[in-house]
Amino acid sequence: MNILVVGSGGREHALVWKIAQNKAVKNLFCAPGNAGIAQNATCVDIKADDIDGLLSFALSEKIDLTVVGPEAPLAAGIVDIFEKKGLTVFGASKKAAQLEASKTFSKNLMIKYKIPTAQGQSFTNYDQAEKYIKSMAAPLVVKADGLAAGKGVLICNTEKEALNALTLILKDQAFGSAGARVVIEECLIGEEASFLALTDGKTVLALPSSQDHKRIFDNDEGPNTGGMGAYSPAPLVDSIMHDKIMNEVMIPTVNAMAAEGIPYKGILYAGLMIDRDKIKVLEFNARFGDPEAQPLLMRLKSDLVELMLACIDGTLDRHTMDIDDKAAVCLVMAAGGYPNSYAKGKVITGLDVAAKIKDVVVFHAGTQFKGKSVVTSGGRVLGVTALGETVEKTIDKAYKATAKITWDKAFYRKDIGQKALDRLNTPPKVGIVMGSDSDFAVMKETLVTLKKFGIPYEITVASAHRTPERACEFASTARTRGIRVIIAAAGQAAHLAGAMAAHTTLPVIGVPIDASSLNGLDALLSTVQMPPGVPVATVAIGKPGATNAGILAAQILGVSDPQIEKYLEDHKKDMAKSVTKKADALAAKLK
C-alpha cells in the first residue's frame, strides 16, 4: 500500500510513526514533512495547502490512502477534490469540515440539536453585535468565525474589552476574512479536556481522553500557543464523564451532521469545558489535535490504517479500539520567544540520546536538515513523548528525556501534567463500598450525584460475609485517607453497612440493593434494623436510594463546606424549576 500523509508538524510525525508500523505499507510519503518524519517516510516538497500539487503527486505515485493532518486543506476541500479523482482519503469533506472552519456553523448546529455549548450568537453586523454584548454580562468571549490559527478567540473580562475585540475582528479585520463574522458567547468556567473519536458518519469510536496545555508559561500564564504539551488519560474524564461526553456530545454531533445531509467522516475532536458534571463544547476540530495526537497515538495499540480505511468505507462498526493502559505524556520543546518572534536554524543536540530511552519517542514539529545536522525551523520544535505505568512516572520519564536535548534558547514548560497529578492526589471525601460489582449499575447514580456537587470519591467492592476483613479495613482506615462519609450498598442479608459502622466513627449511609426475590425488602430491613449505639442512615431501595445517598453525603459535608452548601441550594432550585415546568406544561395541555 502507498500512503501519503499531508502536513509537517508533530501531529503528522506521530501519524507517520504509527502508520509505518502497518506491515502492508510499501511506500510512505509525507508532504512536506520535516527532519524527524524523514526517519519514517519519504518527504516530498509540496506544501500542505497546495492541493493541486498534492493531487498530481497522489495520482502519479498511485497513492492508495491519503491522510490529511491539518485543518486548512480539509476546509479547502482536499477530500472532495481527491475523491472526485477516485482517490481514497481520510478526513472530513469540505462541508463537514465547517464544524471547525466556521464557528457560526458549529454554534447553530449545537443549538439546533441541543448539544451543550456556551450560550451565544453569530453576527456580521457591528451594531447588532454591539447590542448583544451590552445585553450580556461580562466576562464574554468574542471569536472570529473562521480559521485563525488558534488566535481568533478573545476572552474579554469587561464590556469595554468585548467591544474592542468586536472592533478588532469586524471593523479592523485583524483576522482577515476569518473575521467577517463573529461569534459572541458567555465565558465558561471549569477545566478543559480534549475528546477525540474516529467516525465513519454512523459509528463513533472514542480515543482515550487527553488534555492540552495552551498557554506558553507554567500555571497557564502568558499568551496562547498551538499547545505546549499533552497527556492521556485525563483523570478529569473518568468513565462516567466519558459516557456522558459520548452520549451528549459525540454521538449526537455525528447524528446531527447525518441529519443535515453532511455525513461526518474522519476525526471528530471536541474541545470541552468541564465543570463538575457539566460539559459544554468550546469548539470542534475536524482533525487530530497537536500535541494530543502524540500521546494518543502512542497509546493506540490497534492498527490505525485499518481504522482509517473503515471510517472511509463505512465499516467502523466492525472494529474496536485497543488502547494501552499506560499513560502517555508529550512535552513540547519550543524556540525561545515563541509564540512571538523566534530564531530558526539552531543546531539541536541530544536527539540520539533521548531516542534511546525505552518507551520515549521524540516527535519532530519544526525541524529540518542542514547538512548532517538537525536544526530548528519553527516555533514548536519537538514533542518529547513518553509512555509509562502511571501519569507521575511518565511525566518524570518525559522530563528526563527532554533534559538530554538542547539548542540555543530551547524552552519548555516545567508543569506539564500537573493538573492530572493534582486531581489524582486529591483525597476522596466519600468512600463507597459495594457488596458486589453487580451493584455498580445501581451505585453509578451515587457517583453521578457526587459529581454534581464536585465531591471526590473512592469506590470499591468488599463483602461483609465473603471478605469481612477487607470491609473492616476500609472502614477503619477511611478517616486517614480523607474520607468523611461512607456509603455502603448491599443486597439480600445486607450486613455491609452495619459491619462498616461498627468499625468507624464516620457517618455511614446504607443503600439497600434489590438483589433477591424479596425485591430488596430483605436488604432494607437488614440495613436499617441496627441495634442502638451503631446507627446506619438508611435510604430507599435501589437507584432512588443511590441518588439520595449521594445527596445526603453532600448535605453532611455541606455543613462545614460553603461551596457544597451553595451547590445544594442550586440543586434544590433546579428541582423546583423542573417541577414548575412540568406543571406549566400540564396546564397548557389541559387548556
Q: Is 314 left (phi over 0), alpha (psi -120 to 50) or beta?
A: left
Distance CA 72, CA 63 (A): 21
Q: How far is CA 240 from the centre of its chain?
A: 13
Grid cell locating 166? 468586536
* CB-nearer residue toward ligand AMP: 155 or 180: 155
Q: Are 109 and 147 in contact (CB under 8 A)?
A: no
Smallest gap from Cβ 141 to ligand AMP, in A, equals 4
Smallest gap from Cβ 377 to ligand AMP, in A, equals 25
* CB-nearer residue toward ligand AMP: 54 or 144: 144
Smallest gap from Cβ 124 to ligand AMP, in A, equals 19
Would you tell me how many other CB atoms lie within 10 Å of the CB of residue 221?
Answer: 8
Residues 256-315 that bind ligand AMP (CB under 6 A): 271, 282-283
* CB-nearer residue toward ligand AMP: 250 or 309: 250
Grid cell locating 140? 464574554
Of the candidates 297, 298, 300, the one whose C-alpha atom is nearest the C-alpha of residue 388 is: 298
Q: Are strands 430-434 and 221-224 parallel, antiparallel or unpaired?
A: unpaired
* CB-nearer residue toward ligand AMP: 189 or 588: 189
Smallest gap from Cβ 212 to ligand AMP, in A, equals 8
Give yes or no for residue 361 binding ligand AMP (CB under 6 A): no
Residues 188-247 that bind ligand AMP (CB under 6 A): 188, 192, 214
Helices (H), 27-77: 51-60, 71-75
* CB-nearer residue toward ligand AMP: 280 or 319: 280
Q: Cα torsion at 193, 410, 339, 381 (round to 10°)? A: -70
Looking at the DSSP bridge assignments, the partners of residue 313 are: none
The single-letter DSSP state of residue 349 is B
Grid cell locating 36? 524527524
Residues 54-113 that bind ligand AMP (CB under 6 A): none
Task: Using CB under 6 A, pick the residue from 185, 200, 290, 522 that binds ligand AMP.
Answer: 185
Q: Cα torsion at 123, 127, 128, 132 (round to 10°)? A: 100
Q: Are 209 and 232 in contact (CB under 8 A)?
A: yes
Q: What phi and psi, each to the nearest 5 degrees, are found at residue 12? A: -70, -35
Smallest gap from Cβ 219 to ligand AMP, in A, equals 15
* CB-nearer residue toward ligand AMP: 260 or 283: 283
Smallest gap from Cβ 576 to ligand AMP, in A, equals 28
Q: Are 481 and 431 in contact (CB under 8 A)?
A: yes
Q: What phi and psi, each to the nearest 5 degrees, are found at residue 531? A: -65, 155
Find the part of the chain contacting ligand AMP (CB under 6 A) among 61-69, 180-188, 242-250, 312-320. Answer: 180-188
Smallest gap from Cβ 185 to ligand AMP, in A, equals 5
Smallest gap from Cβ 401 to ligand AMP, in A, equals 27
Find the part of the chain contacting ligand AMP (CB under 6 A) among 183-191, 294-302, 431-439, 499-507. Answer: 183-191
Smallest gap from Cβ 166 to ligand AMP, in A, equals 15
Cis peptide before 32 (omega within 30 of 0): yes
Residues 6+ apart with CB under 8 A from 492: 515, 516, 522, 523, 526
Looking at the DSSP bridge assignments, the partners of residue 230 are: 212, 330
Find the part of the chain contacting ligand AMP (CB under 6 A) among 171-179, 181-189, 317-325, 487-495. Answer: 181-189
Task: Using CB under 6 A, pick the residue from 4, 78, 118, 434 that binds ligand AMP.
Answer: 118
Q: Alpha carbon of 454 to those of 276, 278, 462, 483, 543: distances in Å?
A: 5, 10, 25, 14, 20
Of the candidates 38, 53, 48, the one whose C-alpha atom is nearest the C-alpha of residue 7 is: 48
Smallest gap from Cβ 77 to ligand AMP, in A, equals 21
* CB-nearer residue toward ligand AMP: 223 or 314: 223
Written as one letter, the residue type at 550 is G
Smallest gap from Cβ 323 to ligand AMP, in A, equals 24
User: Which residue minimizes CB distance to ligand AMP?
Assistant: 283
Grid cell locating 236? 478529569
* CB-nearer residue toward ligand AMP: 268 or 568: 268
Smallest gap from Cβ 211 to ligand AMP, in A, equals 11
* CB-nearer residue toward ligand AMP: 96 or 282: 282
Q: b/e string for 229-260 if b means 16 or more Cβ within 10 A?
A: bbbbbbbbbeeebbebbeebbbbbbbbbbeee
Find the part of the chain contacting ligand AMP (CB under 6 A) among 66-74, 182-190, 231-239, 509-517. Answer: 182-190
Count of residues near ligand AMP by CB under 6 A: 13
* CB-nearer residue toward ligand AMP: 188 or 478: 188
Find the part of the chain contacting ligand AMP (CB under 6 A) among 185-193, 241-249, 434-442, 511-519. Answer: 185-193
Distance CA 73, CA 47 (A): 10
Give yes or no for residue 25 binding ligand AMP (CB under 6 A): no
Residues 127-146 that bind ligand AMP (CB under 6 A): 141, 143
Smallest gap from Cβ 281 to ligand AMP, in A, equals 9
Q: What phi and psi, each to the nearest 5 degrees, are found at residue 406? A: -155, 165
Would you tell me how many other CB atoms lie within 10 Å of the CB of residue 73?
Answer: 27
Smallest gap from Cβ 79 to ligand AMP, in A, equals 22
* CB-nearer residue toward ligand AMP: 226 or 266: 226
The footprint of ligand AMP (CB under 6 A) covers 118, 141, 143, 153, 155, 185, 187-188, 192, 214, 271, 282-283
